[in-house]
């Protein structure tokens, strides 16, 4: 491995001038660069790029086993210091394949050299420019790192830190809140959590939670917080592990007590939150309700640092996101809803800040605070109408959301849309606050040009704003929403297809004929068939729901069937013949029942023997829902008061429909029985 590495080093292009930045070199409190390596260090800051490259190469060459251990250790320290500089420093070191060289150094028997290599690796891996997958390219590396955990408190601290920075999720949870590091795709094979878990991370790291070293305890805790995140396997294991006779959840609870450092409280709260969300701890467990949730609410208070308030709010948002009772408890804990309003007051007015560093700090965290507040408000208001009302009545809340929709930060925009979506589930707020602030305008603007993750939530919100009781429905229609929504139905993104067709379905409900015609024109017959043959059942169900809403009220039914009847009947036939679930077939039969209610449209059924046979078949089906839907079709076809009813009754009697009706009139199902008797009365009238 070594000679291969050395050969490759000479092939790399030269880094840019001054790549390693300032001319001071920091190598830690207790270590200094001795004269023996001063020559090579000086080259790293030479204005001649060739000399810079030579200096880097020489530092690598000093990793050779022929060099003294002391010199090699010093090189690792120097490299670690360089990695603490700019991101360009780290990029240049990565380009020179520093990671394989340092990993090779871990095979040394010398503990001081191993610690120096691990310290440097830690510094490199915590840089945002370092790909996490570099730790997993060699299957033996993780095993070796696990073995090194027992060597010293420094190996424990650095290895846990490396693991926690190199453990990313493989999947993306589109609706959840990420209070932990954002997931990246693993190159191939199992994700990082699984690899570490399978190498015994839980067993090897658990005992470090009771280490005498605070740094070791803290890094072990951070490691568990990322290992358990959205991982039921790890979480279920953690809940049953004990150290010195104490279960891990009990250890985590002790770590979030008020007398512990804030960083420890927050991280242990994250561990318990992840375990709760993964189902390893019940949401009504006292360690969640009485310990974790109150701790996270405390983190949102003014007394905490801005970064702590961000982390506390995001973790709390994730904890309560799917649980109604936790949302209610959080909403009445320490005036949380009012407390969050303070998150929007940064940066403070310039005149009030004399310290320029403070202003810079506030500016840096201002958008993170707004993002965290929007996320937490979204979770709080996800289900309860009273909580939503309290949120909206909070100081300037609707204005803040509207402003958030046009922020430059994508993360803030996404969080603001999530908050708006959560509040849009309220009928009362749709009729009042949403209308008063014309929320639909900035929402439509967001939908014009946004990344998919924002589009998904924004289009979900639009679905709610298009419900029949929403005053926003009319102006949204006038602003060109049909074209926008029809384009969403063609998206490769499943959630966008579902939302596009869902919004059109809501739009078509009790709409005037012109709107229905515009929807059909915008979709096109070809696209309608595409949606009806979509592999996802949600898309299919919403498309059938759209058709059902389009085919309501007789004049509309007759008009639409006169222009699109052939294609719609063809689609209905395909679905009834296909391998679909009960709900899909029931919805399709309901569409036929609507068509049968038309004045002229019903002839498209009566002249289609194939469809009539299918209706007859479903009248005798084993599922009562399908039987009932088929009977609605028959009732509408034979209704006495309508022209041509006698001929239709005669044809259906000849098909054996009356015999089936007599049989169903004896059914034990009261709905079927009543419907059959009502239909038979049409024959007797």
The H-assigned helical ranges of 191-261 are: 192-198, 201-206, 214-227, 232-238, 248-255
More reliable by pLDDT, 667 or 58 = 667
- Sign of the CA dihedral with 544 first, then 550, 555, and 559 last: negative
More reliable by pLDDT, 352 or 678 = 678
Q: Report helix, strand or coil for 246.
A: strand
Look at residue 51 and tell me whether its pLDDT is greater than 70.
no
Q: Point out the least confidently predicted range of 29-33, 65-69, 339-343, 493-497.
A: 29-33
One-character DSSP codes across 315-358? HHHHHHTT-HHHHHHHHTSTTHHHHHHGGGS-SPPGGG---HHH
Q: Report helix, strand or coil for 658.
A: helix
Q: How confident is the model at residue 275 (pLDDT cuts 50, 70, 90)?
A: very high
More reliable by pLDDT, 435 or 167 = 167
Tokens of 330: 């959080």
Rounded to an integer, the average pLDDT of 467-493 is 90
Q: How confident is the model at residue 537 (pLDDT cuts 50, 70, 90)?
A: very high
Q: How confident is the model at residue 359 (pLDDT cuts 50, 70, 90)?
A: confident
Rounded to an integer, the average pLDDT of 55-74 is 71
Tokens of 448: 């014009």
Rounded to an integer, the average pLDDT of 451-478 is 90
Write down the pLDDT at residue 679: 87
CA distances, 580 to each of 191, 263, 535, 543, 615 (Å): 34, 53, 10, 14, 16
Write down the pLDDT at residue 364: 78
Q: How many helices (H) and strands (E) does the chain have?
A: 42, 2
Write down the pLDDT at residue 55: 44
What pTM was computed for the model? 0.82
Mean pLDDT of the chain: 85
Q: Per DSSP, which regions of 281-323 are E strands?
A: none
Give the H/E segment covering residue 163.
helix 153-165
Tokens of 435: 């209308």
Distance CA 157, CA 304 (A): 26
């Amino acid at each position: 491995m070594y000679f291969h590495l050395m050969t490759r080093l000479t092939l790399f292009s030269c880094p840019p001038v001054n790549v390693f930045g300032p001319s001071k070199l920091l190598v830690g409190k207790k270590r200094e660069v001795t004269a023996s390596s001063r020559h090579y260090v000086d080259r790293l800051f030479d204005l001649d790029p060739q000399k810079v490259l030579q200096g880097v190469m020489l530092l690598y060459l000093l990793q050779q086993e022929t060099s003294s251990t002391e010199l090699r250790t010093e090189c690792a320290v120097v490299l670690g210091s360089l990695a603490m500089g700019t991101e360009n420093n780290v990029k240049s070191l990565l380009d020179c394949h520093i990671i394989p060289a340092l990993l090779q150094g871990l095979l040394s028997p010398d503990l001081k050299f191993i610690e120096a290599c691990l310290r440097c690796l830690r510094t490199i891996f915590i840089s945002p420019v370092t790909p996490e997958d570099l730790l997993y390219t060699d299957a033996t590396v993780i095993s070796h790192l696990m073995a090194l955990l027992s060597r010293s408190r420094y190996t424990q601290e650095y290895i846990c830190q490396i693991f926690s920075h190199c453990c990313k999720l493989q999947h993306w949870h589109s609706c959840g809140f990420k209070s932990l590091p954002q997931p990246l795709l693993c190159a191939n094979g199992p994700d990082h959590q699984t690899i570490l878990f399978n190498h015994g991370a839980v067993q090897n790291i658990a005992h470090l939670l009771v280490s005498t070293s605070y740094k070791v305890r803290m890094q072990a805790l951070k490691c568990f917080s990322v290992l358990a995140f959205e991982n039921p396997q790890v979480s279920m294991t953690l809940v049953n592990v004990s150290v010195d006779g104490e279960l891990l959840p009990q250890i985590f609870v002790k770590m979030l007590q008020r007398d512990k450092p804030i960083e420890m409280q927050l991280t242990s709260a994250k561990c318990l939150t992840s375990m709760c969300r993964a189902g390893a701890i019940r949401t009504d467990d006292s360690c969640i309700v009485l310990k974790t949730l109150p701790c996270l609410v405390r983190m949102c208070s003014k007394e905490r640092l801005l970064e702590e308030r961000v982390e506390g709010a995001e973790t709390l948002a994730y904890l309560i996101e799917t649980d109604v009772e936790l949302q209610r408890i959080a909403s009445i804990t320490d005036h949380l809803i009012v407390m969050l309003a303070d998150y929007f007051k940064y940066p403070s007015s310039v005149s009030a800040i004399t310290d320029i560093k403070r202003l810079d700090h506030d500016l840096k965290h201002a958008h993170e605070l707004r993002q965290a507040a929007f996320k937490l408000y979204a979770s709080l208001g996800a289900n309860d109408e009273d909580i939503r009302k309290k949120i909206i009545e909070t100081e300037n809340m609707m204005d803040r959301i509207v402003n958030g929709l046009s922020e430059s930060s994508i993360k803030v925009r996404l969080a603001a849309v999530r908050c708006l979506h959560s509040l849009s589930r309220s009928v009362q707020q749709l009729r009042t606050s949403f209308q008063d602030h014309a929320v639909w305008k900035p929402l439509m603007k967001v939908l014009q040009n946004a990344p998919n993750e924002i589009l998904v939530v924004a289009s979900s919100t639009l679905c709610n704003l298009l419900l029949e009781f929403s005053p926003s429905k009319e102006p949204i229609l006038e602003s060109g929403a049909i074209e926008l929504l029809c384009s969403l139905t063609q998206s490769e993104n499943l959630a966008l297809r579902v939302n596009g067709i869902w919004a059109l379905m809501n739009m078509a409900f009790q709409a005037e004929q012109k709107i229905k015609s515009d929807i059909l024109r915008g979709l096109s017959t070809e696209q309608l068939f595409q949606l009806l043959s979509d592999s996802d059942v949600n898309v299919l169900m919403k498309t059938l729901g759209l058709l059902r809403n389009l085919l309501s009220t007789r004049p509309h039914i007759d008009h639409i069937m006169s222009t699109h009847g052939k294609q719609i009947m063809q689609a209905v036939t395909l679905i009834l013949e296909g391998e679909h679930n009960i709900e899909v077939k029931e919805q399709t039969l309901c569409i036929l029942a609507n068509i049968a209610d038309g004045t002229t449209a019903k002839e498209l059924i009566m002249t289609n023997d194939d469809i009539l046979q299918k209706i007859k078949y479903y009248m005798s089906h084993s599922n009562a829902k399908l039987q009932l839907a088929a009977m609605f079709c028959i009732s509408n076809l034979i209704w006495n008061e309508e022209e041509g009813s006698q001929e239709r009754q005669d044809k259906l009697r000849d098909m054996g429909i009356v015999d089936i009706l007599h049989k169903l009139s004896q059914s034990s199902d009261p709905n079927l029985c009543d419907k059959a008797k009502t239909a038979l009365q049409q024959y007797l009238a």
